[in-house]
Chains A and B, each alone.
Chain A
Amino acid sequence: MAQLFGDQDRKIFPRWRPFRETLKTGELSSIENAARKNTPIDDLLRLKAQWGKNRTPSFAADVVSAAVALDEPGQAKQEADFLLKAQSVPLPARSLAERILGIATVEPALDINDVLNAQSTRKKIHDIRRRLWDDPHNVIGWTELSFFFAVIGVHDKAISAMENALRLAPHNRYVLRSAARLFVHINHLGRAHELLLTNERTRYDPWLLAAEIAIADARGKPPKFAITGRRTLNSGIDRFHVSELASAIGTLEINASGSTRRGRRFIQDSLEKPSENAVAQAAWADRKFGMIDINGTILRQSPEAKTWDNYMIGNWRRALDASMTWFRDQPFSKHPPIIASYLSALVFQEYESAAKIAGQGLVANAGDPLLLNNLAYSLANQGKISEAVTALKNISLEGLPTEISAPVLATRGLIAYRSGNAIEGRALYMEAVERLNGHQSALLRANLHMAIEELRAGTPQANVVAVASLGITAEVVMPEVVMLRERLRGQFVESRKKEAISDHG
């Protein structure tokens, strides 16, 4: 059974993206107020006067270059226009002229759209390595190299690249947040925390304070900078820069002090000018504790929040689309491929696509039992029984939490049914159902799945199991349960029709 338990717990760990993507979020701007600095343009005006007397490409190019250097594009329109019409002007000069005239195209450094393609990611790694060969002090290059190694699940190289970045720029926000996220991703929470605890920049930077508090919270340790963080919230810094900090303090309030009311207040404050991550955290808090006011425009800023919002109301297609956007945004994270493969398999019965998504998720998260489970479920539904068995082969249920062990048992049950062993299938499903005691939605779904498999296998007990499942879910309004119930009802009606025909025959 493909399974999803929703986002039980969420910490506002830093997001980790390639540099150009992170730039777009605005989180790398300076905390200080950014009034535009004046630069004298007397020299530029002199260059323009020279161009007035020497209307040639070299003089025009000199003006254009100076205007771009001083970020005064309005001063060089005429010269830029001249340059674009002139012959044999080298490309960089043309490109600056186009920029002056506002016709330059902005190319992304790294195309994030194909980040889920392992081959293309390997090509990116190759390109970045070449860039680093030319400039080994390129901090951004090392951080991105680490990112793409994490995306393809090569953790030792991801760590080594990140260590280089940390050596070169130990106090840089982008590097520190990326490093912290890497260590969280590979379950080195202690290392992630230590990195922030010992860095002198953390106490001054709200983005790092937020990360320290969230990681300490995840470790179950008291954050070192909670008081500093609270003080920073009221220090007059632009609300965007403290949105994740407010969110982290709010989450900590709920988790550590049990004060849902105070926690909600901080999280609500984080929405004044939120980062994407702060929106996702607030949407999670709202699902879990309610009473957070998030308007639709803000919610749509976060593909993660959009995924869960659509999922909760059974808007499956939108949920799947949003989950894929979320996956492309955080391609090393296991959470988006889990929900995307789940929706694709269970709701849309697009098993090939679901297997592909689960497979992509497993690249960065090798051995993740839920992704393996969703992969096995999708393979079994395609009739690829031996591959499905292989996918689940190495999962030991010992020590696994119910949220993982129950779906694995159910999928093993499904494989048994599909292998013609209904007795074993039923037993495995029953064991899953037993483990799911207390998890109402999952338990009902397991029941419905088992009934569907009984009907499919045409066992003597099929009708009884189906009727019982339809009965216990009749009043349930949870979208997934409703969707599965209707599927079972359809199959049950079909099965009865076939029986009737065969009786008459």
Chain B
Amino acid sequence: MDVVPPVDAKHPVERLLGTTLDGGWKVVERFEHAVKDATGGNNSVGFIVENGEGKRGFLKAIDLASSNKFNDPPSVLQEMLSAYLNERNICTICKDRQMRRVAGSIAHGQAQVDGAIGLEGSVSYIIFELAEGDIRHAIDKLDHVDTAWSLRTLHDIAVGMDQIHRADIAHLDTKPSNALRFKDQGTKLSDFGKSLQRGRASLHENDLIVGDPSYAPPELHYDYLSPDWNERRFGCDLWLLGSMAVFLFSRTTMTGLLSSEMAGIHHWRQWRGGYLDVLPYVRDGFNRAIVKFEPTIWEGIRSPVIIIIRQLCDPDPHRRGHPINLSQSGGNNSIYRFSVERYVSQFDALAKRCELGL
């Protein structure tokens, strides 16, 4: 969830406030935090909506009229619509499959606001479950972040990732701000604005880094894009999951830690050779990062957690993932090769161990 700039009151999207949408959802207030839209811009606006039963939701409205602000409005409009449709499609899949660890959509639709006609008055929206905040809010509210809480949170995120992967969807933007906390429900994976579904055309299909670059795996920073969809997209998700573990224990990300351990001449902003050439140096930086990070984990579970992070964040995308999956997939990049199912079980077992004080 992100902060959006103030919206021009003349914009139709702003006029949603106070209107009632299909399904009886009433737009009751502007939401200070809104989801950035899938085009990577700030062309969406957030509102709180409420239905007749007092259930509240988060509405993400796409400001189609804002396409007029750009030099080439038709192509921006096309981009915005395509991104909206992609997100809506993915949300629908998640909803249909009843993914319990995904902050899914409740409804979506099109509204025509008063005082504007045609495209000018047309607002596309998606309504999501309303969260209490993301894991950063939760961490800051806790007296102390205990290991069991971190592992349970990781388990929840891993379940969410496993669920979408089973639907051939790669999240690609898993980060603290997209791991939302829900009252009595734990953590759910959210924001599918940058997600891709295998086999379905998308705006970002050919992008190197689809999600937030500050969390992206190193191979993408070095312009290495695997020709295999599973490896480049599910491989990226594995890295992001490992990086979430790093954040929960150390408030840093693996990308940040790795960057800090790389020599200037080998850093992705400097290096001009291929990824295979720089990989030994990246791996050295990675190992140094692990050494720095290791002590933040409670000794009782340090070893298995470090092993998991090493597997999820292996700098070599060909080696990333669980070794059993790697060996059993026989070298081909089937979806099984990138499955997070084993990590779901491992995080669950580790969380239980800590919860029971074993």
Footprint of B on A, CB under 8 Å?
A: 19, 23, 26, 28-37, 39-40, 42-44, 46-47, 49-50, 52-54, 56-59, 61-62, 64-71, 88-93, 95-96, 99, 109, 131, 134-135, 137-141, 168-169, 171-175
When distances are taken between beta carbons in the complex, the residues of chain A under 8 Å from B319 are: 137
Say yes or no: B214 contacts A66, CB within 8 Å.
yes
Say yes or no: B259 contacts A68, CB within 8 Å.
yes
When distances are taken between beta carbons in the complex, the residues of chain A under 8 Å from B257 are: 65, 68, 92, 96
Judged by a CB distance under 8 angstroms, whether B304 is at the interface is no
Say yes or no: B296 contacts A91, CB within 8 Å.
yes
- Of B266, B268, B277, B306, most buried by chain A (CB within 10 Å of CB) is B277
Say yes or no: A61 contacts B251, CB within 8 Å.
yes
The main secondary structure of chain B at its interface with chain A is helix
Say yes or no: B269 contacts A23, CB within 8 Å.
no
Given A32-B272, A69-B214: A54 in contact with B137 (beta carbons within 8 A): yes
Footprint of A on B, CB under 8 Å?
A: 2-3, 32-33, 36, 40, 135-137, 139-140, 144, 176-177, 212-215, 221, 247, 249-253, 255-260, 263, 265-273, 276-281, 283-284, 287-288, 290, 292-293, 295-296, 306, 310, 316, 319
Say yes or no: B268 contacts A68, CB within 8 Å.
no
Say yes or no: B140 contacts A57, CB within 8 Å.
yes
When distances are taken between beta carbons in the complex, the residues of chain A under 8 Å from B140 are: 54, 56-59
**Complex-state Cα separation, A272 to B172, whole angstroms:** 48
Say yes or no: A39 contacts B272, CB within 8 Å.
no
Given A62-B176, A90-B249: A23 in contact with B263 (beta carbons within 8 A): yes
Q: Which residue of A lies closest to B283 (CB)?
A: A138
Given A54-B140, A65-B252, A92-B250: A30 in contact with B265 (beta carbons within 8 A): yes
Counted as pairs of residues, one from A and one from B, with CB atoms less than 8 Å apart, the total is 177
Contact of B265 among A34, A52, A66, A91 (CB under 8 A): A34
Say yes or no: B251 contacts A42, CB within 8 Å.
no
Say yes or no: B287 contacts A93, CB within 8 Å.
no
When distances are taken between beta carbons in the complex, the residues of chain B under 8 Å from A135 are: 283, 287, 310
When distances are taken between beta carbons in the complex, the residues of chain B under 8 Å from A39 are: 213, 221, 269
Given A69-B253, A92-B257, A92-B292: A46 in contact with B284 (beta carbons within 8 A): no
The main secondary structure of chain A at its interface with chain B is helix
Say yes or no: A65 contacts B251, CB within 8 Å.
yes
Say yes or no: A169 contacts B256, CB within 8 Å.
no
When distances are taken between beta carbons in the complex, the residues of chain B under 8 Å from A34 are: 265, 270-272
When distances are taken between beta carbons in the complex, the residues of chain A under 8 Å from B265 are: 23, 26, 28-30, 34
Contact of B256 among A59, A66, A171 (CB under 8 A): A66
When distances are taken between beta carbons in the complex, the residues of chain B under 8 Å from A174 are: 280
4 pairs of A and B residues whose beta carbons are closest in the complex: A65-B256, A66-B214, A61-B251, A32-B272
When distances are taken between beta carbons in the complex, the residues of chain A under 8 Å from B214 are: 43-44, 47, 65-67, 69-70
Q: Which residue of B lies closest to A65 (CB)?
A: B256
When distances are taken between beta carbons in the complex, the residues of chain B under 8 Å from A37 are: 268-270
Contact of B213 among A49, A69, A131 (CB under 8 A): A69
Say yes or no: A96 contacts B263, CB within 8 Å.
no
When distances are taken between beta carbons in the complex, the residues of chain B under 8 Å from A56 are: 136, 140
Contact of B250 among A23, A69, A90, A134 (CB under 8 A): A90
B137 to chain A: closest CB distance in Å?
7
Q: Which residue of B lies closest to A173 (CB)?
A: B277
Given A28-B281, A91-B295: A53 in contact with B32 (beta carbons within 8 A): yes
Say yes or no: B280 contacts A139, CB within 8 Å.
yes
**Complex-state Cα separation, A134 to B176, whole angstroms:** 28
Q: Which residue of B lies closest to A31 (CB)?
A: B273
When distances are taken between beta carbons in the complex, the residues of chain A under 8 Å from B212 are: 43, 66
Given A62-B176, A89-B251, A171-B277: A30 in contact with B271 (beta carbons within 8 A): yes
- Of A30, A62, A141, A168, most buried by chain B (CB within 10 Å of CB) is A62
Q: Which residue of B lies closest to A50 (CB)?
A: B3
